[in-house]
Amino acid sequence: MSLSNEIIEWRHHLHSIPEIGFKEKSTSEFIARKLEEFGIEVVRGIGKTGIVGILSRGTSTESIAIRADFDALPIEEKNDFSYVSKNNGMMHGCGHDGHASMLLGAAYQLSLQNDFDGTVYFVFQPAEELGTGAKAMIEDGLFTRWKIDAIYAMHNLPGIDVGSFLISPGSVMASENHFKIEVLADGGHAAMPHLGSDPMITACSIVPALQSIITRNLDAINEPAILSVTDIKTNGGANVIPTIITLTGDTRCFSDETQEYIKNAIERVVSGVTSAAGLAYNYEFSNCVLSTINDAKTSEIAARIAKKLVGESKVNENFKPYCISEDFAFMQREVPSCYILVGNGLTGKKGGVPLHQPNYDFNDDLLQVGTNFWVNLVYDQLAK
């Protein structure tokens, strides 16, 4: 059987056994066993279910890491092909089965070669969809146990012609941040509001006031951002003025500086509005995922390799960043890095179903392209 067909078989098998973040035991074991079959050193349990494969050649101390995610989503699959999910309520709706298979394909090809000098680290990461898998691997010593000079990752993108690359220095994806605001009051009887204090009008005033942060405080061209209040809860009733109203929401932006500004600006607005009403507040801001920001040098390297592989016309080095998030961003704060997007297929054609939809499927036509990219990247960076 050709390697291309083997990679497809691996992908179909992984697709059929989807597992949610940090519970990817069967998936992790399948990947680890394959790496061991290739003669690659395997370290299990880096970030709970994460795996690091290590392949060294020659005497050079130079290294490169390639990362693929392998967790699935809590979605009931609606496809009807032979390798459909066997696990109820779970599916590979984001293509991580394809990402892992491409990296396995590259690992196999490189394991047969001796014409590079240095060490390749094959990083298989769990729990990307939870936004915590990268952190877990870092906390388990991914960048302290091993000397990793640079790390690269790739994600498929439906709606783009299969095999077309999007590689750009700077921001690629947004940060994801959640906030919670509690407006505190005495409450009271709805028929006698003057005998207590009412947080309702104040909470309702906070919602539009927060929008001024985006529309009036940030540069719409150079600092694009989104702030959404997504939920409001109270402990009141039809005739009971609440004592607490909780506002929760989400913000997205493309730099650490803008993220910090928004964090502080939310509290400034809340403090001002509640103070004017004579009320108190509590405020929490949690960063779930940092902005995905590519290093200029690694991006130039990746773009050069992609152009050699698919031609200059299929490599976009100046695309607008996407508002989705990716926890690879935490690894990017550790070493030089590049996050690569690659077309999964045009809308309406094979591979064109959007991510996270129940009838999505990774495009098998992309598998060999991704595998070849990783192999060529290693040859380029660890040339004898």
Does an H or E element contain 37, and which?
A: helix 25-37
**Which pLDDT band, with edges at 50, 70 and 90, does 336 fall under?**
very high
Cα gap 283→179, rounded to integer Å: 7
Task: Give the three-state DSSP class for 261.
Answer: helix
> Residue 72: which of 84, 61, 54 has the closest Cα?
84
Cα gap 158→60, rounded to integer Å: 39
What pLDDT was estimated at residue 200? 97
One-letter amino acid at 345 equals G
What pLDDT was estimated at residue 384? 85
What pLDDT was estimated at residue 285? 98
Q: Which two structure tokens, joined as six digits, stand for 77?
A: 């699959």
Q: What is the pLDDT of residues 104-123, one digit of tens each?
A: 999 999 999 999 999 999 99
Chain centroid, CA 248 distance in Å: 22
Task: Give the three-state DSSP class for 160.
Answer: strand
- The fold adopted by the segment(s) 175-289 is Alpha-Beta Plaits (3.30.70)
One-letter amino acid at 294 equals N
Q: What is the pLDDT of residues 246-265, one digit of tens each?
A: 999 999 999 999 999 999 99
- The structural domains of the chain, with segments of one domain joined by +, span 3-172+291-381, 175-289
Say yes or no to pLDDT of 195 above 80. yes
Beta strand 337-345 pairing with 151-158: parallel
CB 132 within 8 A of CB 117: no
Query: Domain 3-172+291-381: which CATH class?
Result: alpha beta
Say yes or no to pLDDT of 1 above 80. no
Q: Report the chain's C-alpha Rg in angstroms.
A: 24
Q: Is 175-289 in the same CATH topology as 3-172+291-381?
A: no
**Which pLDDT band, with edges at 50, 70 and 90, does 25 fall under?**
very high
Q: Which two structure tokens, joined as six digits, stand for 118?
A: 């240095």
**Which pLDDT band, with edges at 50, 70 and 90, does 191 fall under?**
very high
User: Mean pLDDT in the chain?
Assistant: 97
C-alpha dihedral over 138, 143, 144, 148, to 10 degrees?
Answer: 170
Helix axes 200-216, 256-277, angle to 10 degrees: 150
- Report the DSSP beta bridge partners of residue 245: 183, 234
Cα gap 65→78, rounded to integer Å: 35
What pLDDT was estimated at residue 62? 98
Share of the chain above pLDDT 70, in %: 100
What pLDDT was estimated at residue 299? 98
Cα gap 352→344, rounded to integer Å: 6
Cα gap 300→316, rounded to integer Å: 12
- Other beta carbons within 10 angstroms of residue 92's beta carbon come to 29
| CA angle at 118 for the pair 328 and 302, rounded to the nearest 5° | 45
Conformational region of residue 220, where left means phi above 0, alpha means psi within -120 to 50, and beta covers everything else? alpha
Say yes or no to pLDDT of 42 above 80. yes
Task: Give the three-state DSSP class for 79.
Answer: coil
One-letter amino acid at 271 equals S
Say yes or no to pLDDT of 23 above 80. yes
What pLDDT was estimated at residue 82? 98
First CA to last CA distance, the chain: 31
Say yes or no to pLDDT of 379 above 80. yes
Contacts of 284 (CB under 8 A, 6+ apart): 179, 180
Instruction: Kindly state the average pLDDT of the residues 172-184.
Output: 97
Q: What is the pLDDT of residues 217-233, one digit of tens each?
A: 999 888 999 999 999 99
> Residue 192: which of 244, 241, 242 has the closest Cα?
241
What pLDDT was estimated at residue 197? 96
